[in-house]
């Protein structure tokens, strides 16, 4: 039984837009297995955990997966700040 329809959730809709393959495709090639990989995994993890949680049978399970998605969003934010401090990306490029 699906607790929530994840496609209707504003948080899922916003997080699906945050999948930032275009931005990371402009990163230096030597970051392919470093920041690029980590950023992409985090960005995909956020909406994926929201969707998974919506398919669980209880609000408690859904809340747990929302917490995991939130933690991934903090991880993603940190990686983007690091990328900015390394002069790989500008803050302006993150306004998507």
Residue 93 has pLDDT above 90, yes or no: no
pLDDT at res. 85:
93
- The overall pTM is greater than 0.95: no
Look at the block and give the residue holding tokens 């994926």: 48
- All domains in the chain, ordered by first residue: 29-89 (1.20.1440.60)
Tokens at 29, concatenated: 């090639």
Q: What is the pLDDT of residues 61-84, one digit of tens each?
A: 999 999 999 999 999 999 999 999
Encoded tokens for 74: 């903090």
């Amino acid at each position: 039984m699906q607790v929530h329809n994840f496609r209707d959730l504003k948080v899922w809709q916003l997080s699906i837009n945050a999948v930032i393959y275009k931005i990371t495709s402009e990163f230096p090639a030597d970051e392919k297995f470093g920041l690029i990989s980590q950023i992409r995994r985090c960005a995909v993890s956020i909406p994926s955990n929201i969707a998974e949680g919506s398919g669980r049978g209880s609000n408690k399970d859904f809340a747990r997966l929302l917490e995991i998605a939130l933690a991934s969003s903090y991880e993603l934010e940190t990686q983007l700040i690091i990328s900015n401090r390394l002069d790989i990306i500008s803050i302006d490029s993150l306004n998507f």
